Structure 1
Amino acid sequence: MVGFWPQSKENERLTNVEYSIAGCVSGIFARALCQPFDVLKIRFQLQLEPIRKQHAHGKYFGIFQAANTIIKEEGWKSLWKGHMPAQGLSLTYGLIQFLSYELLTEKAFHIIPEEWNDSVQSRIFVSFFCGALSGTLANTVALPFDVIRTRLVAQGEPKIFRNSRHAAKMMFRNEGFASFYRGLTPALLQIAPYSGLVFSFYELSQTFWNKFIFDHVSNSTNDVTKAIVCGGTAGVAAKSLLYPLDVLKKRLQVVGFEQARTSFGRTFHYSGFLHCIISTVVQEGYAGLYKGFLPSILKAAAANACGFFFYEQTCNLFRSLRKSNDNSTVKREDENN
């Protein structure tokens, strides 16, 4: 169970430290498993040429072709390019998002009328509102990791940045502190509804699961299967609705980094969010706003499935350890008596 629900037993609640650790574990494992999808997605998003095999000037035109090209030119490790700042992003984001979501849902259910507590609609509304706030907070804190990660992934050979530290140093020297928050506007416009939709779709999927599927799944695998299926479904649904904002965010994050992009085809320079939207649609059509959609959807499904699974399992582990310690304490007290 993710978030606070009035029906939860008191002993099911964990400490803030335990929720933070669970959020970190979730972010780390989800990122490690899903980073190649992110690399492919970013390469597609930053390519101005159409992503079609018939287009002679485009470097990438399919998932398998893109992966094969990247491995041939840059080595298989390049599918994990930018992994260290991406881990910093995921660790920070996972910690803040899940912890703040737990705290916000608890506050929300203490505010809303008690008769609404059992309503599915109120749970979905609370999930969306608290998810949007927690995602906004997490994204604002973690965005510098995202910008550095994007630039490391975006560069080809020869490399402009050697590693994350070098990237941060050069960005600060050449572009100032503001460079770490490039793409902040589309990032916040995207992440608030996206995070809200992920948590509300997760809650809705779990409600559907408990009502129609629970009895048809083995008890030993029900929690695991539910977290994976509901998490993946939530990720796909939310990403599908808001994907164009992700493309715009990534393009704004590499503004000022054109010299590392010349080997990938035409480069671009945008003066701001609106200019980015207009230029993308005029030059590439509305399809330009959906470049990299397939790897992004695959990544959203895998990342959210892994994220919710590892978060729930880590929380369950803490509850099991607490129960085991409580039982040991009771046993010792009985022996002493």
Structure 2
Amino acid sequence: MIQKKLLVPAAAVVILAAGYFGLCAYASKQAEKRLDDFVYDNHLNDSLSWASVSSSPFGGKVVIKGVEFGNGKSGGVHADTVTLTDLINSDSRSRVRLEAAGIQASDGSLQSLKNLGAMASMMGAGFMGMNGFGPLLSSGRNQLKPFDLTLFLDLDDDATRATGETFVDMPDLFTFSASYRMDNVKDLHRTVNDLQRGSRTDAYAVLGGAAQGLQGAFARAELSELKVSFQDKGMVKRSALLQQRYATPLDPLAGSADKQRQAWFETSLDNWQKNCESGMRQNAPMLSDGCELMVKLFKGKNDGIQLSIDPKDPVRVMDLMSVFGGGNSRRVLERLNPEVSSL
């Protein structure tokens, strides 16, 4: 009798486990089918592949392993795993969090990112003249370690809101994060879906409609929140040392080379700070503190820098173009209420 009492719950556990893993297998097949459809619909058959796809029973989490994107050595990107969570895809809303781990990128795929090394080359050492990934080269490295990337996007037409996050963690270089929220965004989810459906037939035929749709979506959109941060993990420190070692004009009769390098480095940073603050006072006085914080970053007195925007008055997204286009940028910046701080 006791044996039967023990066997019944044990059998129930086995049945439940079998059902659970059966649901997982079914969900995984459904997830891979949707991924196949996505690849086909977006003409990615020759540039996107994967080793396996698994999914939780109710589709809340999808894990894709061995992802290959691009054209091999000329521009390929590999990721050990790509995990999708927070999935919503309805008529009025789309939301997804993508976490890619163990990303390895070829030299060709990093060409478009080489300008990110401008920060490390602000004193004109000339490293940016080299090909490849700017931050890597400017900090004395010739190989990029596998890195992680997180992207989050939520387009909610009912709430007329768009939010997003980006996080990049590059070992021995830096971490970068950004988050934002926009309100009064009109039908952006629908516009994006229309673009995707249009691309299945003739991509060129929808370009005009795409521009019009996006312009309508952002016509009255307002930037409600923005936070951007950069944290050094060795790139800036090594760049500063390289600047001193190879870019210092030495005088054989002026004594210690190390002292000359340190003095030149300090003078270069002081001059850069003065020029930076002079420009900021004229165009963006609320950001002038950022000049000093940047210098402290290169001197190793802080680990990073952060820009936060929390507008006290509405700021239209379309008006942000004046910040980069030479218009009334000071008025827009005042409404953005930016704040720069160190990490």
TM-score under structure 2 normalisation? 0.30
Structure of larger gyration radius: 2
Larger strand fraction of residues: 2
TM-score under structure 1 normalisation? 0.31
